[in-house]
């Protein structure tokens, strides 16, 4: 193969067929990477701790993002039968497996983006 020829792994007829697009749609966005990163650093956080740690997110949006991540089995929600209610969030093994990739993205971003 000549250097000017490019190897195309697969022709994507729709953007949704691309694994990177799928990742960005489900785990990307404004808030989910931040939530995942906070849970990677802190291991376990309560709703109010997450809320206070993420400036600009509404409680409704935080709740929705947590539900989405739980549905994807990225995080685990544990609620305790106490008053006031106590709910803790932590990453599943699947969620923890994102650490290396998110660390690489963070390093690349620090080098190339402002």
Q: Which domains does the chain have, with CATH numbers?
A: 16-112 (1.10.10.10)
Instruction: Give the tens place of pLDDT for each residue, 1-43.
Output: 555 556 666 666 666 678 888 888 889 889 999 999 999 999 9
Q: Which two tokens stand for residue 10?
A: 């697969």
Task: Give the model confidence (pLDDT) of 40-80 as tens digits.
Answer: 999 999 999 999 999 999 999 999 999 999 999 999 999 99
**Sign of the dihedral through C-alpha 101, 61, 29, 66:** positive
User: What number of CA atoms fall less than 13 Å from residue 107's CA on the CB side?
Assistant: 6
Q: Please give the helix or strand (H or E) that residue 108 lies within, else none.
A: helix 99-112
**Quick one: tokens of 94?**
């699947």
The reported pTM is 0.82
């Amino acid at each position: 193969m000549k250097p000017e020829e490019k190897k195309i792994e697969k022709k994507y007829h729709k953007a949704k067929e691309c694994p990177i697009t799928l990742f960005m749609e489900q785990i990307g966005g404004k808030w989910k990477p931040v939530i995942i990163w906070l849970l990677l650093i802190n291991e376990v956080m309560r709703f109010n701790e997450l809320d206070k740690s993420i400036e600009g997110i509404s409680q409704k949006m935080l709740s929705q993002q947590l539900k989405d991540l739980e549905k994807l089995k990225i995080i685990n929600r544990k609620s305790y039968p106490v008053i006031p209610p106590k709910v803790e969030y932590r990453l599943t093994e699947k969620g923890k497996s994102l650490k290396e990739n998110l660390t690489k993205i963070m390093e690349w971003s620090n080098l190339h983006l402002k």
